Amino acid sequence: MPNYLFDSLFAPHAQKENVFLHLSSGDSITYSGFVKLAARFANVLIDLGLEVGDRLAVQVEKSEYGLALYAACVQAGIVYLPLNTAYTVQELEYFIENSGATVLICDEAKSDTLTPLVRRLGVVLSTLGPTGQGRLQEVAQHASEHFVPVQRGPDDLVAILYTSGTTGRSKGAMISHKNLLSNARSLKVAWCFDETDVLLHALPVFHTHGLFVATNILLLAGGAMIFLPKFDLDAIFAHLPRATTMMGVPTFYTRLLSDKRLIKGSCAHMRLFVSGSAPLLNETHVQFRERTGHAILERYGMTETNMNTSNPYAGERRPGTVGFPLPDVELKITDPKTGDLLENGEIGQIEVRGANVFQGYWQMPEKTREELREDGFFITGDLGRKDEEGYIHIVGRNKDLIISGGYNIYPKEIETLLDEQVGVEESAVVGLPHSDFGETPVAFLVLKKGASVDLSKIDTVIAEQLASFKHPRKLIILDELPRNTMGKIQKNILREHYNDLFHAA
Binding-site ranges for ligand MLC (CB under 6 A): 86, 203-204, 207-210, 230-231, 249, 251, 276-277, 301-303, 404-407, 437, 468-469
Q: Which is nearer to ligand MLC, 48 or 401 (CB)?
A: 401
Secondary structure letter of residue 76 according to DSSP = H
Helix residue ranges per DSSP H, 129-257: 135-140, 177-190, 215-221, 233-239, 250-257
CB of 207 to ligand MLC, least distance (A): 4
Residue 396's Cβ-side half-sphere holds a number of Cα atoms within 13 Å equal to: 8
Q: Which is nearer to ligand AMP, 22 or 397 (CB)?
A: 397
- Cα distance between residue 163 and residue 83, in whole Å: 11
Q: Which is nearer to ligand AMP, 101 or 352 (CB)?
A: 352
Query: Binding partner of residue 210 among ligand AMP, ligand MLC, none, CB under 5 to 8 Å per kind?
Result: ligand MLC
Among 29, 105, 143, 302, binds ligand AMP (CB under 6 A): 302
| # residues near ligand AMP by CB under 6 A | 19
Contact at 8 Å (CB) between 171 and 362? yes
- Cα distance between residue 309 and residue 298, in whole Å: 9
Secondary structure letter of residue 78 according to DSSP = P
CB of 102 to ligand MLC, least distance (A): 26
What is the SS3 assignment for 167?
coil
**Contact flag: residue 303 with ligand AMP (CB under 6 A):** yes
What are 414-420's contacts with CB under 8 Å, separation 24+? 414/441, 414/443, 414/462, 414/466, 414/470, 414/472, 415/443, 417/461, 417/462, 417/465, 417/466, 418/443, 418/445, 418/458, 418/462
Could you tell me which residues come within 8 angstroms of residue 198 by beta carbon, excluding any fewer than 6 positions away? 22, 223, 224, 225, 226, 242, 243, 244, 245
Q: Which is nearer to ligand MLC, 415 or 439 (CB)?
A: 439
Among 44, 187, 224, 394, binds ligand AMP (CB under 6 A): 394
Among 147, 206, 253, 300, binds ligand AMP (CB under 6 A): 300
Stretch 261-280: interaction string toward ligand AMP, x if CB under 6 A:
---------------xxxx-
Q: Which is nearer to ligand AMP, 54 or 439 (CB)?
A: 439
CB of 293 to ligand AMP, least distance (A): 22
**Contact flag: residue 397 with ligand AMP (CB under 6 A):** yes
Q: Which is nearer to ligand AMP, 231 or 300 (CB)?
A: 300
CB of 491 to ligand AMP, least distance (A): 16
| Window 196 to 255, contacts with ligand AMP (CB under 6 A) | 208
Q: Tell me how far the alpha carbon of residue 45 is from its chain's centroid.
A: 25
Query: Binding partner of residue 86 among ligand MLC, ligand AMP, none, CB under 5 to 8 Å per kind?
Result: ligand MLC
3-class SS letters over 21-51: EEECCCCEEEHHHHHHHHHHHHHHHHHCCCC
**Contact flag: residue 384 with ligand AMP (CB under 6 A):** no
Among 380, 404, 427, 440, binds ligand AMP (CB under 6 A): 380
Q: Which is nearer to ligand MLC, 207 or 285 (CB)?
A: 207
Contact at 8 Å (CB) between 76 and 42? yes
Query: Binding partner of residue 203 among ligand AMP, ligand MLC, none, CB under 5 to 8 Å per kind?
Result: ligand MLC
Q: Which is nearer to ligand MLC, 30 or 359 (CB)?
A: 359
Contact at 8 Å (CB) between 206 and 85? yes
CA neighbor of 294 nearest in space, from 259, 277, 319: 319
Could you tell me which residues come within 8 angstroms of residue 402 by beta carbon, excluding any fewer than 6 positions away? 408, 409, 410, 411, 429, 430, 431, 439, 440, 441
How wide is the angle at C-alpha 364 spanned by C-alphas 187 and 249, nearest 5°?
35
Among 61, 351, 371, 382, binds ligand AMP (CB under 6 A): 382
Query: Binding partner of residue 298 among ligand AMP, ligand MLC, none, CB under 5 to 8 Å per kind?
Result: ligand AMP
- Cα distance between residue 302 and residue 203, in whole Å: 15
Could you tell me which residues come within 8 angstroms of residue 257 by beta carbon, excluding any fewer than 6 positions away? 284, 287, 288, 291
Query: Binding partner of residue 279 among ligand AMP, ligand MLC, none, CB under 5 to 8 Å per kind?
Result: ligand AMP
Q: What is the dihedral of CA 65, 115, 56, 163, to 10 degrees?
A: -100
Q: Which is nearer to ligand AMP, 3 or 311 (CB)?
A: 311
Query: Binding partner of residue 382 among ligand AMP, ligand MLC, none, CB under 5 to 8 Å per kind?
Result: ligand AMP
**Of 29-37, 284-292, 374-382, 495-503: span binding ligand AMP (CB under 6 A):** 374-382
CB of 388 to ligand AMP, least distance (A): 20
Secondary structure letter of residue 402 according to DSSP = E
Amino acid at 385: R
CA neighbor of 500 nearest in space, from 442, 403, 432, 402: 432
CB of 80 to ligand AMP, least distance (A): 16
Among 33, 301, 323, 348, binds ligand AMP (CB under 6 A): 301
Q: Which is nearer to ligand MLC, 223 or 431 (CB)?
A: 431
| Window 154 to 173, contacts with ligand AMP (CB under 6 A) | 163
Helix axes 282-292, 250-257, angle to 10 degrees: 50
- Cα distance between residue 430 and residue 444, in whole Å: 8
Footprint on this chain of ligand AMP (rule: CB under 6 A): 163, 208, 276-279, 298, 300-303, 322, 380-382, 394, 397, 403, 408
